[in-house]
Amino acid sequence: MDGRTGRNPLYRRPRPRKDPDGRPQSSRPTREWLLLGIALVAVGAVVLRSGSSPATASPGPPSSPAGRPKRLGKLLLGPEQIACYACFTWASLILLSRYREVRRQRGAFHLDLLPMEEGARILPEDARPYVRKVDAVAGKWGP
């Protein structure tokens, strides 16, 4: 044990492999700005498509039956509501992408890369075959 740091100087913790951007290879970017663009296009298409119906409603007082579609259109398609729809769609797309990433990572647990028997140990001399097995599977399925 090293007296200054309290760590074993012979043990070096392995560092995760990193891609050129400096992120660990096991994590993928969520591309949130791309998802924002998709959300804005989707909400914009829905608003433009449904925004034409309240504008073509016959004029009349808000309490009359002819003025109700216009009033309903203002309630559902105001600028604040459109911003909320866009933010909700963006957040939903981010959650969906994170859910897919978690499912991908959980699938890695079922690849049977390491021995799972009770009392199984990986000794230093046994590590090289396991590294080859992990590299072969990662090469076929990706990180």
Report whether pLDDT(96) > 50.
yes
Q: pLDDT higher for 90 or 14?
A: 90
In-domain check, residue 46: yes
In-domain check, residue 4: no
Tell me, what's the pLDDT at 57?
A: 45
Question: Phi first, then psi: what are they for 53, rounded to 5°?
Answer: -70, -40
Q: How far apart are CA 44 and CA 38, in angstroms?
A: 10
In-domain check, residue 59: yes
For 98-119, write each residue's pLDDT tens digit. 999 889 888 877 777 777 788 8
In-domain check, residue 116: no
Which pTM value belongs to this model?
0.58
In-domain check, residue 76: yes
In-domain check, residue 78: yes
Q: pLDDT higher for 16 or 83?
A: 83
Domain count, the chain: 1
For 90-120, give one letter per residue: b (16+ CB within 10 A) or e: beebbeebeeeeeeeeeeeeeeeeeeeeeee
Tell me, what's the pLDDT at 79?
A: 87
Report whether pLDDT(77) > 90.
no
Tell me, what's the pLDDT at 94?
A: 94
Beta carbons of 51 and 85 less than 8 angstroms apart = no
Instruction: Identify the top-confidence range among 50-54, 59-63, 65-69, 118-122.
Output: 118-122
How many other β-carbons are positioned within 10 Å of the β-carbon of residue 12?
8
Give the domain range for residue 97: 29-108
Q: What DSSP character marks residue 24?
A: B
Tell me, what's the pLDDT at 104?
A: 84
In-domain check, residue 103: yes
For 21-58, write each residue's pLDDT tens digit. 665 555 666 689 999 999 999 999 988 887 654 444 45
